[in-house]
Each structure stands twice: as C-alpha cells, then as structure tokens.
Chain A
Amino acid sequence: MKFSTVKKYRRRHKLLGALLIRNPVLVLGLDLPFVIAAATSLKNAAAMAIQIFIIHTGTMLVGRVTCTKLHRWQAIVANVAAATFMMMVAQVLVVALFRGISNSLGMYLYLMAVNAMTVFQSSALPKNAKIWPVFTGALSNALGFALVVGVVALIREYFAFGSLWGISLPVLIKLPALAIPFAGFMLMGFLLAFTRFLNKRLLALSLLETARKEARYTKIHVDSVETIDL
C-alpha cells in the first residue's frame, strides 16, 4: 500500500476519521494507560469520557490561541496549565455525578490533565488554524477515545465482575483476572490488531471504489487483434 494513497484516504475522512481510521488510542497509540489500567468498569469509562470531552475540547481551543501567539515551548506550558484547570472543573463534575469514582479511578482521575492526546495535539496546531475544524476535531478525537474506553470497559466489567454499570448479570464464566493491567495490555493488543484489519479492509474498499469510478471514464483503445498460429 503506498503511503501517499493512505494519506489521501486519511485526509478525506478528517471528521469521523478519529473514530476508526485515526483513532487516537487504537491507531495513534495515545492515552493507553487509561484504557489498560483504569477502564475496568463502565462507570469508570463514563467518568473518563466526560473528563476527556471537557479537558480535550477546552485545551484545544486554548491551544489554538497559544500556538498562534506564543513560542512553542511557552505554548506547551500554557496548554498544560489550561488542561489542569479544565481537569479541576471536570473532576468536580465527575465526583458529583458518580459516587466513589475517585476510589475506583485512583490517580487516573487526576492524570487526565496531562494525557498524551491533549498535550500533543494542542501544541501541534498550525498558526492560523480555523476554530471550527479545531473544535470538531477535538470533539471527534474525544469521541474516539470514549468509544475505545467504553468497549474495553464493557468487556472487562462483564467478564471480570459479571455486571454492567453495577447491575449483576448472568455470565457464562467469570474471569476476574481480566481486571488486572496485564489483561488490559493483551486486550489492547487484540483490539489494535482488529482495528488494523478493519482499516485495511476499508482502505481496500475505498480504493476499489475509486478504481471503479476512474474506469468508467476511461476507454481502452484496441488497434488490432493479432492471432498467433500454433
């Protein structure tokens, strides 16, 4: 697969691309510790999703300003400070919504302030980025993260504890070892492989579609037909 083709394909799917093709966790490999260690129940996942929406969107908007006005290193510092402020706001909201969340999330509640996705993407904005694409990009990245965290937490909570959102459900076999980070790593590995598989299929389909479109407008000229006498 040529890299230029892949780039062209990726550029075309900027908005919803963050869900699958440029998923920040599954394709770019950002924010992995939250998925591996902290995504063990749906409540945790929901709390982290709310946090990431607030922190990431806010910091990206701040970053649009700081990247234009300040030097690179100053922008990073300012962005992290802004992210920390957002985290404080988000944490108040999350603690109010979910009881006992600071116990179950532990330090990952506060670590969200310096999550890799926010720090990297907010400091890498070009100087004259437009606000609306920045906003929608931030939203879709956060949505991508929330999706992954939700899926992983769903699997882990169901098979490890036999419950979903704290409600006990019948389960075929309970495997409490899925709650430990090692199982999180393995699960992430499988998800990454599956995502790669899906992306390749999607890319192949899209290439096929493009080829068909081009073929419709191309005529093949046949000058002469030669036969070979055997």
Chain B
Amino acid sequence: MAMFRKGVLLAQHKEPAFSKPIVRFVNPQTDRMTIEREPPANPARAGVSDIVEIAQAAGVTDERDGKPLYKKLLRARERAVAVLVDAVDDEPYVSSRIAPLLQCREEVLGGLALCKQVAQTTNISFVVYQSITDQKLGLPRTIGGMPVVRLRGAYPAPAQSAKMKMREEKGRRLIVGTGALIHLYRAVWRAKRQSTTFITVAGSCVANPMNLEVSIGLSVDQVLERCGLSAEPTRVVCGGSMTGIAVLDRDATCVTHTTRAILAFRENKKDALFSCIGCGRCEQVCPAGLNPMYIHRFVENSYYANLRLFDAHMCVECGTCSYICPSRLTVAASVAKAKEYALCHFIQPGEETDELDG
C-alpha cells in the first residue's frame, strides 16, 4: 500500500476479456437503421457543418457522459486547441474503451480525422491508463502517428491526470471517447445511426468474459446469457466495478449509451459487516484528501452540524474508501450522502468544484 501517495493500487483483472476480439451481439433490426440524409459525396473532405449535421442525425452520443457528440463538436468548432481521446479504463475488469481503440483502429482513426477537421488543430493525443501491476497490456506508444499519453499510478486515474499538463488547456479541449469516434465514422462513411455501444462483460461468475458490441436496449439478462454464467451471481453490476450500480432486476434493466460494463460477482458472505474499528485506512487513501471515517460516523448518527469542516462536497466519488475498509462498511455511500447535504445547505453555486476532472 502506498506510504506517501493517495489512492489505492488495484489489480486490474483485464484479461482474458481484453485480448479476445470484440464480438457483435446486435439486434438485426436496429442494426440496419440508417440516416435519412444524403451522404456526403467525398466523406474524406466533408465540411464541418456536414459532419455536425450527420452527427446530430445519427444520434451519436459520447459514452463518457451521455451527451450528444454534435454539441461538443459545435463547441469545439471555434475554440478547441486540442483533441483528446479518452480511453482511460482505470477500474478493474473493465476494458470497454481501450479494446475498441486497439481493435477497430481504422474506424477510430477515421473518426478522429473528422474531429480534427472540425476542431482545426493538430494537437491530438490518446489518453490511456496503465498501472504498474499491469505491464502485460502491451499498449502502443503511438497510434496513427499520434502520441499515446499514459496515466500511471493508483486508482483513481483522474487524480493523476490533474497533475499533468492537461490543466493548461481546460475548457478548450475536445474530449471524446473511442466509441463515439467509431460511431461518428460509421455515420459519415456508411450513413448508419448509432444503435450499439461497446461494453465489457466480466466477473467471477461469467463463463466467457469478453468485450461486446451490444445493441442499445437489450436487457442485462440477455447479455449475460450470451456470455454464459458459470455460477449464480449474488451481485450483478451495471457500470464499473468501483463506481457502478447494482442491478436488482436483470430482465428490466437495459443496456444504454453510457453502460461501460456488465459484471457478475459471487461473494463470500462470511465477511459480515462489523462496526467501524477506527483504523483510518479510508482517510489514508482518499485522493481528495478528505476524512471519510469521521464523515461516515457523523452521517450514521445524523450529526450534520459540524459537517462544514470536512468539505464533503469535494468528494470525487471514486469509491476507494469503501474498497479499503476492512470492516466492509459502505463509507462511500455515507460520503455521497454528506456531499448531497453539503451541496444543498452549505455550498453556494460557483464554489463547488470538481477540480480533479481530467
């Protein structure tokens, strides 16, 4: 465990899903949907307004935050000085951003060329995450002549990116995910609507962990059936392993634009929830420098009077505090509650910050 750094080094468990080829698991009807618009004559030299209109018509969504890509392209049209491709997968088991980057390279580069046209800049780079325990990943140094920036260090990765030079150009960068680039390319060159997304299916209960390209709208149950379950999971998660949401009804929960992964775990129930032993490990690993132990205690006892001192609104919601807790307490949930309370009662708009957002 780190003696001087914050954050916690996680074993990534990206194999075997990472090396397998991406499999398509699509609904044939939605897969055939096209845009009702004249495709451009020469897609390689499409104009900026053409690209933006096609992106809007195809409904291309950035899978990082669910926002439409065309709005980001519009904002970047005048002012962008850099384009960053976000392929950071810092949570264990998940590799749904980096795998398309490496396996669908032409489509990514094609989409990137279109973004370059919109942003009118040559400062383009890829951002990936490779922790020190995962040297076998084999990530290239350049892709298509453009540099690949590696974030190293402990989880959470944005904590590391804030220290890098990216800070200089904040607000004038166009940050896109790899999936968005692929769908933009397909929209311009093949006039296809976005109807799929890239996800990882992994976990201890999945028989064949792999990366899939899945139609949006398929249920979690169908996806898990496709990959096969080797044991009955006690916990199915939609999202990352550290920040995802547990799925209660597998039939009714569907894959959306922003689903990154579907993970199935079976855990040992003998690790019962003891009470807080006051070890202070949560405070040692918090990347935002907060004190989750006291926040958790205060929230448990509904003692919100002195919460101002603890700056709960600065929480980046990485989940490291709960991860490290030896008593398996839900510390992160309490801090999230305190953050909500602080944002309602203490903090004025404008004072809040998400400064570690890379």
Query: Quick check: do A and B touch in the complex, using CB within 8 A?
Result: no
Q: Which residues of A are interface residues toward B (Cβ below 8 A)?
A: none
